Amino acid sequence: MISLNGIEKVYHSQSGQIHALRGINLEVKAGEIFGVIGKSGAGKSTLIRCINRLEQPTAGTVIVDGQDITKLTENELRESRKKIGMIFQHFNLLSSRTVFDNIAFPLELAGYAKQDIEDTVVRLLKLVGLSDKRDQYPSQLSGGQKQRVGIARALANRPKVLLCDEATSALDPQTTKSILELLKDINRELKLTIVLITHEMHVIKEICDQVAVMENGLIIEQGPILDIFTQPQAAITQEFIGTIMNHDLPDHFKDMPLSRTPLPDSKLLLRLSFIGDAAGEPIIAGMIRRFDIDVSILYGNMDHIRNVSFGTLIVELSGNQDAIHRALEYTKAHEVGSEVIGYVPRHAYAAV
């Protein structure tokens, strides 16, 4: 549906060139919710605005539904943009128009008949849950209601793609959740392809199928949401995930001397990762029963993405080193990820 190939964007200023995008390659499949996350200045807003050519790429091609957006004339681009809806962080509603008239505005510009406009707007008001607000003005609406109007307006021309530029950043957590639920419903009911940019990882977790992580104008990591959450590679990705999931070692272990190799009379600190069916397996009980070792759970976290369970445990293993080694092999046989944090001498506990 959307293919970005070698996208570059360079701005020229009095202080010199600003390289906002550096060779971006991205594929978004039809019907997918694709998230782009990055900190301020990463280039994500520039990237999404290149998709509908609100920003003209300095180099590269943007293909949307088989059409190269970068090669269109102004008239052709206006027609193409009718199939690419967009919603914004600050809503961008017309304050002098009612809710009904805001949604009707793009249809009026497109020359639709009055009855067609009425039918379309009434349908969209029902879709976004604002049928009772049709005659109110933006100043009379809450932030979440304003964004629902923005979504309805973006859907007026029956687009195939919906671009969301920090669409929930100005909203409180509960309103954000309701807007994300609405976007999921729209994606499911209308088979709409959605590209969403944000700096909030919980938004990515809640709604996206795929995610790309941006830093300094580059995509440094991308893939299915479950893979990125459970096996983050880049430091910035780990930082984002750390805002909603704690993978850190408990504080009282951070100052202990850790060895990567077994020590006499030591305990092993192990991070276990569970995905899918493995999350329901009694792995800890199995290790204790089979290998005659002691296992203490120091920290645990469980969550769900797209109805798939995943979680992390930090555990402490003590006992015969051969038995501990066999216990590690046992976790691998049950498709449980295991990461050796280190070995801690028993006498280190007395010093904490």
Q: What is the pLDDT of residues 88-144, one digit of tens each?
A: 888 899 999 999 999 999 999 999 999 999 999 999 999 999 999 999 999 999 999
Q: Which of 103, 78, 100 is nearest to 92 (CA)?
A: 103
Q: What is 251-351's CATH superfamily?
A: ACT domain (3.30.70.260)
Tell me the longest C-alpha to C-alpha distance in the chain. Answer: 84
pLDDT > 70: what percent of the chain? 93
Partners of residue 313 on adjacent β-strands: 272, 300
So what's the pLDDT on residue 57?
96
Q: What is the reported pTM?
A: 0.84
C-alpha 158 chain-centroid distance: 25
pLDDT at 352 over 50: no
pLDDT for res 264: 74
pLDDT single digits (tens) 324-345 = 888 888 888 877 778 888 888 7
List the domain boundaries for the chain: 2-242, 251-351
At 13-34, the pLDDT tens digits run: 888 899 999 999 999 999 999 9
Residue 193 has pLDDT above 50, yes or no: yes
- Tens digit of each residue's pLDDT (9 = 90 or more) over 267-317: 888 888 877 766 566 888 888 888 889 998 888 877 777 777 787 888 889
The reported pLDDT for the residue numbered 344 is 81
226, pLDDT greater than 80: yes
User: What are the b/e assignments for 321-345, b being 16+ CB within 10 Å?
Assistant: eeebeebeebbeeeebbbeebbbbb
pLDDT of 346 above 90: no
CB neighbour class for 85 (10 Å; exposed up to 12, middle 13-18, buried from 19)? buried
Fold equal for 2-242 and 251-351: no
Enumerate residues 6+ apart whose C-beta is below 8 A from 147: 87, 91, 167, 168, 171, 175, 179
Comparing C-alpha atoms, which of 251, 198, 203, 229 is closest to residue 308?
A: 229
Superfamily in which the 2-242 domain is placed by CATH: P-loop containing nucleotide triphosphate hydrolases (3.40.50.300)
Report CA torsion sign: 146, 148, 151, 157: negative
d(CA 57, CA 208): 25
Q: What is the pLDDT of residue 350?
A: 45
What's the number of CA atoms in the CB half-sphere (13 Å) around residue 310?
A: 18
pLDDT of residue 263: 72
Burial class, 163, CB count within 10 angstroms (exposed 0-12 / middle 13-18 / buried 19+): buried
Residue 47 CB-density burial (10 A; 0-12 exposed, 13-18 middle, 19+ buried):
buried
Average pLDDT taken over every residue of the chain: 89
